[in-house]
Copies of this chain bind each other. A is one copy, B any other.
Amino acid sequence: MAKRNSLKEDACPVARSMEAIGDCWSMLIIRDAMLGKKRFGEFQKSLGVAKNILTMRLRALLDDGLLKLEPGADGSAYQEYVLTDKGRAVFPIMVALRQWAEDYAFKPGEETNIMVDRETGRRIRKLELHADDGRLLDLGDVTLKPATA
């Protein structure tokens, strides 16, 4: 996107999310952070991205409040990038992206990885959207309404 500012002020929440985490690298950094990665080198190795790019993305995520810097816990002299609450809240987005691709972006037989329940090791269910009375909702069951945050 060129006109980033236009989206930062867009009234649609979807546009704002895309502005903050729609970038490919940002999302993958958050993915790695959710898997426990914390150090510059870990991200760099995992993503195979140029270091200057990684620096830029990490800084953007820090600025947006998705990551924060903490002193190295294991006595390391270096700081660590850890998720904030705002960053951890991206979890449902990641799950949604993952589940979609599992269904539509792999050919049978391709290598991949799946998300499982840590306790049982068994596959998890699809994300579910419920009305406040508990009814399961799909695309056709919802609409938008103007509001004030």
Q: Which of A's residues lie within 8 Å of B, judged by CB?
A: 1, 6-7, 11-20, 22-25, 27-28, 31, 34-35, 48, 65, 86, 88-133, 135, 137-149
Do A131 and B144 touch across chains, with their CB atoms under 8 A apart? no
Contact of A14 among B13, B31, B126, B139 (CB under 8 A): B31
Copies of this protein in the assembly total 2
A-B contacts, 5 of them at CB < 8 A, read A13-B97, A14-B97, A92-B99, A92-B126, A128-B129
Contact of A16 among B6, B34, B101 (CB under 8 A): B101
Given known A131-B120, A131-B124, A146-B111, contact A97–B17 (CB-CB < 8 A):
yes
How near does chain B come to A78, taking the closest CB pair, in angstroms? 24
In the complex, which residues of chain B have a beta carbon less than 8 angstroms from the beta carbon of A117?
Answer: 131-132, 135, 137, 141-142
In the bound complex, what is the Cα–Cα distance between A145 and B125 (angstroms)?
15
